[in-house]
Amino acid sequence: MTNTTARQTPLHEIHSELGASFTDFAGWSMPVRYSSELAEHRAVRETAGQFDLSHMAEIELTGPQAADALDYAMVGALSKVAVGRARYTMLCDADGGVLDDLVVYRTGEARYLVVANAGNAAVVAGELRDRARGFDVEVADRSAEVALIAVQGPNSAAIVAEATGAELSGLRYYASMPATVAGDEVLLARTGYTGEDGFELFLPAGAAVRVWRRLAEAGAAHGLMPAGLACRDTLRLEAGMPLYGNELGTGLTPFHANLGRLVKLDKPGDFVGRGALEKADPDRVLVGLRGHGRRAPRHGYRLLYDNREVGEITSGALSPTLGHPIAMAYVPPEYAEPGTALSADIRGRGEPVEVVSLPFYRRPSTSKG
């Protein structure tokens, strides 16, 4: 049963028109699929998919010390990000545990846009306000004012170029630029969460319907399909991208998730979690698993070695692209070597799985970004 108190994005009526099935996600009513998640998944891998991501949180920091405040608040060196570029980073607590993984865009010399997961919106906004105290910076939660639409897949550049009239060949991965769609100004970023080339468009909430329709019109000749949360999850899993609440959480540091590269211990000054992260010595690490049967291990399933539990599945599915089960799990370092044979307890039966390198899928090298 759908929660009638769930928030709706500015595109809710569009999704209803398109016949979407909805699910409650982080307090939002979100389209989980329109036709079939398999068709939507394949569209993103082969042509393009269009996503409503307006449930994500957008928090803006402006002021002379915006860069200094973010360097203190987060594990990355955000002051080193050039205007027009973006960086994937993390907000950690004093113990080094991950409060959220984020993308931070530098949109001006003294202006940043922090994009947080929907379920962590209040935590991130609150922490940024607290950590910005003492700095000459203003922290403003713009989430209610901003809609976010993504176009992902091999044909995304052609679609977005037609919809915006912009020259995109010089727009690098993790870069952004101002653009116009259907007369509305957008921040156009070459970012995504699918493992494909793609774009994310930040725009005023009131322009969401116009921009969605214009993108759909531009994509009609390029195989563009509306795509929901279900295929977004299998796409990000194939790409080996962590999901907060599965692979990331307060009981885990970036080093647990093999993302220690995000922690810039060489940046000057203190930052929240520095002391704990300097001493981080993970007792378990994130690995990829390939299944050799047809049944996919799912979140929470036990992982075994010689009938002894050694870990737990964090995410798992039958890969639509690869045609076999894939999963991610945390295991002690001695079981993390690719080629290690383990088994997943799937409803009381041990199914063979093998540790493999992440990601499971890489887009063809001919794709941009």
Is pLDDT above 60 for 3? no
Report helix, strand or coil for 193: coil
Look at residue 4 in the predicted model and tell me its pLDDT.
64
CA distance 150 to 198: 7
Fold classification of 1-266 is Gyrase A; domain 2 (3.30.1360)
Is pLDDT above 70 for 62? yes
Q: Stretch 336-361: mean pLDDT, rounded?
A: 97
Is pLDDT above 60 for 219? yes
Q: Stretch 205-214: mean pLDDT, rounded?
A: 98
Q: Stretch 330-356: mean pLDDT, rounded?
A: 97
Residues of each domain in the chain carrying CATH 3.30.1360.120: 1-266
Summarize pLDDT for 259-309 with one digit per residue, the tens. 999 999 999 999 999 999 999 999 999 999 999 988 999 999 999 999 999
Look at residue 143 in the predicted model and tell me its pLDDT.
98
48-52/224-226 β-pairing: parallel
Query: What sign results for the dihedral spanned by CA atoms 320, 322, 149, 138?
Result: positive
Q: Stretch 49-58: mean pLDDT, rounded?
A: 98
Query: Which backbone phi and psi does 42 adopt, to 5 degrees?
Result: -65, -35
103, containing H or E segment: strand 98-108
DSSP 38: H
CATH code at 283-356:
2.40.30.110
DSSP 85: B
Look at residue 367 in the predicted model and tell me its pLDDT.
42
Question: Which residues, in sequence order, are CB contacts of 68 under 8 Å at separation 6+?
Answer: 79, 135, 137, 269
Look at residue 368 in the predicted model and tell me its pLDDT.
41
Summarize pLDDT for 167-178 with one digit per residue, the tens. 999 999 999 999
The b-or-e profile of 105-128 (16+ CB within 10 A means b, else e) is bbbeebbbbbbbbbbbbebbbebb
Global pTM exceeds 0.75? yes
Q: Stretch 67-82: mean pLDDT, rounded?
A: 98
More confident residue, 265 or 5: 265
CA distance 74 to 319: 33
Summarize pLDDT for 111-168 with one digit per residue, the tens. 999 999 999 999 999 999 999 999 999 999 999 999 999 999 999 999 999 999 999 9
Give yes or no for a contact between 256 and 312, defined as CB atoms under 8 angstroms apart.
Answer: no
Give yes or no for a contact between 129 and 61, defined as CB atoms under 8 angstroms apart.
Answer: no
CA distance 291 to 317: 10
Residues of each domain in the chain carrying CATH 2.40.30.110: 283-356
Record the tokens describing residue 135, joined without a space. 């700095």
- CA separation (Å) from 12 to 20, 171, 215, 278, 345? 9, 30, 16, 45, 39
User: In percent, how much of the chain has pLDDT > 90?
Assistant: 96
CA distance 325 to 293: 7
Is pLDDT above 80 for 92? yes
Q: Stretch 60-78: mean pLDDT, rounded?
A: 98
- Averaged pLDDT score across all residues of the chain: 96
Is pLDDT above 60 for 2? no
